Amino acid sequence: MFDNLTEKFEAVFKKLRGHGRLTEENIQEALREVRLVLLEADVNFRVVKDFVAAVRERAIGQDVLKSLTPAQQVIKIVREELARLMGEGEENDLDLAARPPVPVMLCGLQGAGKTTTCGKLALYLRRQKRNPLLVPADIYRPAAIEQLKTVGRQLGIEVFDSQPGEDPVRICEQAREYAALNGFDTLILDTAGRLHIDEELMGELVRIRDSLEPREILFVADAMTGQDAVTVADSFNQQLDVTGVILTKLDGDARGGAALSIRAVTGKPIKLVGLGEKMDALERFHPDRMAQRILGMGDVLTLIEKAQAAVEAEDAAKMEEQLRKEGFTLETFRDQLQTIKKMGSLESLLKLIPGAGKAMKQMQGMQLPDKELKKIEAIINSMTRQERRNHRLLNGSRRLRIARGSGTTVQDVNQLIKRFTEAQKMMKKMQKLGPKGLKGMMRG
């Protein structure tokens, strides 16, 4: 995410830190560079102008120049202003506090990720103990209805039965009645999109809005399209008065223009972000964390949240019990690896750790951690249960069989067992700390 932007910011800051004492001219120069970095990232030029002016006003003051760590102060100001640009301090929570069924309308251009995001949102809300009904109201693209039905089947979430050619406003109204009768508390409306904005489409969306009065009208924006997404968001907002934005495809190599301009231009908050094609790749948007990521400072809070969610799902108590009963074996080790995998790819996790992004780039040529993880799993899966529980059984011929079975080499198997025995030794030491120490570790 925003790798290019991050690299350039890091270069500007490195130079700034290189000056022992900062002069006003040093800061002006850094600001000129920041301005270029933002423009190259496709941030709206007016937004850039205001941003630089805000940073300048705070950074040129005597306090910063006289402070013991002037460069640090300037970087802090940039971070705070970036976060503010993306809406830090403003409400950006979904607001579903209304009498059920609460309609939530998603709109946007074709290909932005609307249908996928409807599915993701349904899953996201179900995890918050809501009971959503998916409503396909894009009647022009028959594949869109099918696509939503497929997503619904995959998630086990009901999709209202609409047919191509029906009036979309009627579909939404009928879905609302159906939801009220069948105990659904949220309606997720997947509306039609076009390749470009057109009046007919807007007219239809306005009619749906006027009839259903959705609590949330969310504009789905493709972050990869940069300023185009911002322009389109602006016109949707003018016609529909949207309540917020969902920014998709932030996992790709988007330059940052959409993320950094969309709130300032539309005045509407980014509420959620899409970070992948999988159904669970939808997250709340945190402006300050995003600013830290952009500046290469990592995002430890998100990492901790992910760890907590993964371990809770796995049931920490169960894992503890297994460890207590069986000790730390290759089998418990594999189960733990699976928990880690639930948190997302190792590469994406590493990027949340401050400085790790840079370290990863230096590892070029080494095996990618995710590949490594798959290999380890394949090796352990090729063992028998007895072998997994007692690695001392693993003699030469067994190791050869396992290497063949897992499509790896005997060296790979040897290396894994070596690493495992080292980890086991460490676990033994930890266990000596008693149940408290162990618990602390498991909850990480």
Q: Rounded distance, CA 29 to CA 106, Å? A: 43
To the question of whether residue 193 is assigned a binding role by annotation, the answer is yes
Instruction: Output the smallest distance, CB 233 to ligand GDP, in A.
Output: 14
- Considering the complex, state which of residue 119 and residue 298 has its C-beta at the smaller distance from ligand GDP: 119
Q: Judged by CB under 6 A, does residue 116 bind ligand GDP?
A: yes
Q: Judged by CB under 6 A, does residue 331 bind ligand GDP?
A: no
Instruction: Output the smallest distance, CB 314 to ligand GDP, in A.
Output: 25
- Here the tokens at position 417 are 């067992």
To the question of whether residue 109 is assigned a binding role by annotation, the answer is yes
Instruction: Output the smallest distance, CB 222 to ligand GDP, in A.
Output: 8
User: Any residues with CB less than 8 A from the CB of 426 and at least 6 apart, and which?
Assistant: none
Instruction: Output the smallest distance, CB 299 to ligand GDP, in A.
Output: 17
CA-to-CA dists, residue 52 to 29, 69, 282, angstroms: 12, 21, 31
Q: Judged by CB under 6 A, does residue 142 bind ligand GDP?
A: no
The owner of tokens 């941030």 is 43
Footprint on residues 213-242 left by ligand GDP (CB under 6 A): none
Candidates 92, 191, 248, 339: give the one binding ligand GDP (CB under 6 A): 248
Q: Judged by CB under 6 A, does residue 251 bind ligand GDP?
A: yes
Is the link from the previous residue into 103 a cis peptide, with omega within 30 of 0? no
Q: Using CB atoms, what's the residue nearest to ligand GDP? A: 274
CA-to-CA dists, residue 355 to 169, 201, 206, 295, angstroms: 51, 46, 47, 10
E strand or H helix that includes residue 71: helix 70-85
- Considering the complex, state which of residue 244 and residue 276 has its C-beta at the smaller distance from ligand GDP: 276
Instruction: Output the smallest distance, CB 43 to ligand GDP, in A.
Output: 20
Q: Rounded distance, CA 136 to CA 190, Å? A: 5
Quick note: the x/- pattern for ligand GDP over 269-288, rule CB under 6 A, is -----xxxx---x-------
Q: What is the DSSP letter of 315?
A: -
E strand or H helix that includes residue 134: strand 132-137
To the question of whether residue 138 is assigned a binding role by annotation, the answer is no
Q: Rounded distance, CA 102 to CA 117, Å? A: 17
Paired residues of 220 in beta bridges: 246
Instruction: Output the smallest distance, CB 283 to ligand GDP, in A.
Output: 10
Instruction: Output the smallest distance, CB 120 to ligand GDP, in A.
Output: 8
How many Cβ atoms sit within 10 Å of the Cβ of residue 68? 6
Q: Of 57, 52, 44, which is closest to residue 260 (Cα–Cα)?
A: 44
Q: Rounded distance, CA 312 to CA 443, Å? A: 9
- Considering the complex, state which of residue 214 and residue 276 has its C-beta at the smaller distance from ligand GDP: 276
Candidates 8, 209, 249, 375: give the one binding ligand GDP (CB under 6 A): 249
Footprint on residues 187-206 left by ligand GDP (CB under 6 A): 193
Q: Judged by CB under 6 A, does residue 115 bind ligand GDP?
A: yes
- Considering the complex, state which of residue 116 and residue 186 has its C-beta at the smaller distance from ligand GDP: 116
Quick note: the x/- pattern for ligand GDP over 73-112, rule CB under 6 A, is -----------------------------------x-xxx
CA-to-CA dists, residue 268 to 20, 147, 237, 247, 360, angstroms: 41, 29, 8, 12, 35
To the question of whether residue 251 is assigned a binding role by annotation, the answer is yes
Q: Of 132, 176, 179, 135, which is closest to residue 157 (Cα–Cα)?
A: 132
Candidates 183, 252, 355, 444: give the one binding ligand GDP (CB under 6 A): 252
Segments in 159-198 forming alpha helices (H): 168-182
Total residues contacting ligand GDP by CB under 6 A comes to 18
Footprint on residues 398-437 left by ligand GDP (CB under 6 A): none
Q: Is 322 helix (H, G, I), strand (E, B) or coil?
A: helix
In degrees and rounded to multiples of 5, residue 350 shows phi and psi of -60, -35
Q: Judged by CB under 6 A, does residue 136 bind ligand GDP?
A: no
Half-sphere exposure of 346 (CA within 13 A, CB side): 13
- Considering the complex, state which of residue 6 and residue 116 has its C-beta at the smaller distance from ligand GDP: 116
How many Cβ atoms sit within 10 Å of the Cβ of residue 336? 18
- Considering the complex, state which of residue 248 and residue 408 has its C-beta at the smaller distance from ligand GDP: 248
Instruction: Output the smallest distance, CB 205 to ligand GDP, in A.
Output: 14
Q: Of 382, 277, 285, which is closest to residue 85 (Cα–Cα)?
A: 285
- Considering the complex, state which of residue 219 and residue 333 has its C-beta at the smaller distance from ligand GDP: 219
Binding-site annotation: residue ranges for GTP = 108-115, 190-194, 248-251
Contacting positions for ligand GDP (CB under 6 A): 108, 110-116, 193, 248-249, 251-252, 274-277, 281
Binding-site annotation: residue ranges = 108-115, 190-194, 248-251
